[in-house]
Amino acid sequence: MRPGFMSGRFPVRVRLSAAEIPVNLKSMFVPVETGVSMIELYRDDFFAEIHQRGRLQERLARAHQFFDQCCPGLDRIGIALCDDSLEKVKTFLASPAEGNPLTNYHISLCDAESLSKTAISGQVRVVNDLEMFIRGKGDHTHKIWDLGMRSSYTLPIFEQRQLRGFVFFNSRRTNYFQDESLNQMALFGHFLVQMVLNHQETLRTLVASLRITGKMMHYKDPETSSHLERMAHFSQLIAQEMVAQGEIFLDDEEIDHLFRFAPLHDIGKLGIPDEILLKPGKLDAQEWKVMRTHSGIGRAIVDQLINEFGFSTMPDIEILRHITELHHEKIDGSGYPLGLEGDQVPIAARIISVSDIFDALTSTRPYKQAWSNQAAFAELEEMVHRNQLDPLSVAALQRRRADVEQIQQVFYEQS
Ligand SMILES: [Fe+2]
Ligand SMILES: [Fe+2]
């Protein structure tokens, strides 16, 4: 930086048009309108876009383009993340995204021996001939092989000594990952790790700030944190199942956001007076009217936090708004606050509504016993019959009964 650069001798003349000058630097620079002889060279910053808050999927594709220019033959990049509580590794991002056979896929770490070894040792795993490696291995290895990949490089992602996931590089060439290219891969790999961890950190800050707000509510709300964990997992399960059946299209990144935002659905109850929220008996018509304002309050709280933390450009932030504001909408238009009908109810809100009701029915509450799963499913079917719930979301949850039971066992109610 030149002496005096920040000492108030602005404005500086630059070779940019007014529209190209970054918004927060506008007061410092004036564009040069006439051509002048150049003594500096300017080059596009290829990575600039990667620091925008766009979807990670697009940023990965951009990074892959650049890596491929430096190291032709780097044919595929995959990133998988850990689901801490269920000890699974689930697919998260891939480039190229088109024709990716590994979406909506997860595997238990216990069943992935070689990945576990990589995670425990903290070392990079290089396999330069997948043919030697593929015999008897899991589905994911076969899918990568069928895609024509012959070499693989796996970097475990750690954050404060906790395993967070893996970066996978693949090439169609055997013996691709050799000598100098290994150093390049290490650099690329850690670049991607930073990109993903930064994104996750931002997401965690947003969710944590909302959950801290929600914790204040929790002390006066009958719903428990295990309810929130279970309904978030049920929501993820429904979305995964619907995607697997080709009923909706959500990529792994969107499903991850749905999962993280699900526990915030009732954040608006913060604004409901205690005498109504904690009333032991039935609410009268006027009290119900007040109670129903919680979805609009939820949306207002979310909007305020999004603005104050500067999260407005965050991808999929609309999912959070849909969950908080629209989780009481019904397919027949009888729900609130907007009385949306059918497909007007966003998919995130339809899924949340099913998982929230299912968990409320199967949980013990001060005013009722827990229903059996069978009875709760019958009630959901009845609600589908009355055109209140999304039939595809209910059917998806029913098809995954075994996973539902596993989630209930992991996140059981502690009294
Ligand atoms: Fe609610
Ligand atoms: Fe709930």
Confidence check: pLDDT of 222 > 60:
no
d(Cα 188, Cα 153) in Å, to the nearest integer?
Answer: 12
Fold match, 53-199 / 220-410 = no
Q: How far is the CA of 369 from the centre of ligand 2 (A)?
A: 16
Domain boundaries of the chain, sorted by first residue? 1-42, 53-199, 220-410
Query: Does 142 or 335 have the greater pLDDT score?
Result: 335
Is the peptide bond prior to 346 cis by the omega test (within 30 degrees of 0)? no
> Where does 102-224 have alpha helices with state H?
113-121, 130-134, 139-146, 179-218
Residues 91, 114 contacting (CB under 8 angstroms): no
Whether the predicted model's global pTM rises above the 0.85 cut: no
Residues 173, 135 contacting (CB under 8 angstroms): no
Report which bound ligand comes closest to the CA of 223.
2
pLDDT reported for residue 27 = 62
pLDDT reported for residue 4 = 36
Q: How far is the CA of 214 from the centre of ligand 1 (A)?
A: 13
Using pLDDT thresholds of 50, 70 and 90, give the confidence band for residue 37: very low
d(Cα 402, Cα 408) in Å, to the nearest integer?
Answer: 10
pLDDT reported for residue 1 = 37
pLDDT reported for residue 274 = 86
Most confident of 62-66, 248-252, 257-261, 346-350: 346-350
Q: How far is the CA of 360 from the centre of ligand 2 (A)?
A: 7
Query: Does 367 or 334 have the greater pLDDT score?
Result: 334
Mean per-residue pLDDT of the chain: 84
Q: How far is the CA of 276 from the centre of ligand 2 (A)?
A: 16
Tokens representing residue 241 in the block: 């199942």
Q: What is the pLDDT of residues 232-242, one digit of tens each?
A: 999 999 999 99
Q: How far is the CA of 228 from the centre of ligand 2 (A)?
A: 7
d(Cα 72, Cα 171) in Å, to the nearest integer?
Answer: 9
28-32, 138-142, 154-158: segment of lowest average pLDDT: 28-32
Q: How far is the CA of 166 from the centre of ligand 1 (A)?
A: 36
Q: How far is the CA of 164 from the centre of ligand 2 (A)?
A: 28
Using pLDDT thresholds of 50, 70 and 90, give the confidence band for residue 177: very high
Block residue for tokens 């404060």? 160
Mean pLDDT of 124-133: 86
d(Cα 392, Cα 380) in Å, to the nearest integer?
Answer: 11
* H or E, element range at 171: strand 162-171
Q: How far is the CA of 328 from the centre of ligand 1 (A)?
A: 6
Name every residue whose Cβ is closer than 8 Å to that of residue 78 and which is 6 or more positions away in sequence.
Answer: 91, 93, 94, 102, 167, 168, 170
Report which bound ligand comes closest to the CA of 355.
2
The verdict on domain 53-199 having CATH code 3.40.50.1100 is no
Report which bound ligand comes closest to the CA of 294.
1
At 62, is the secondary structure helix, strand, or coil? helix
Task: Give CA separation, 331 vs 215, 235, 249, 280, 349, in Å.
Answer: 31, 18, 20, 30, 11
CATH fourth-level superfamily of 220-410: Hypothetical protein af1432 (1.10.3210.10)
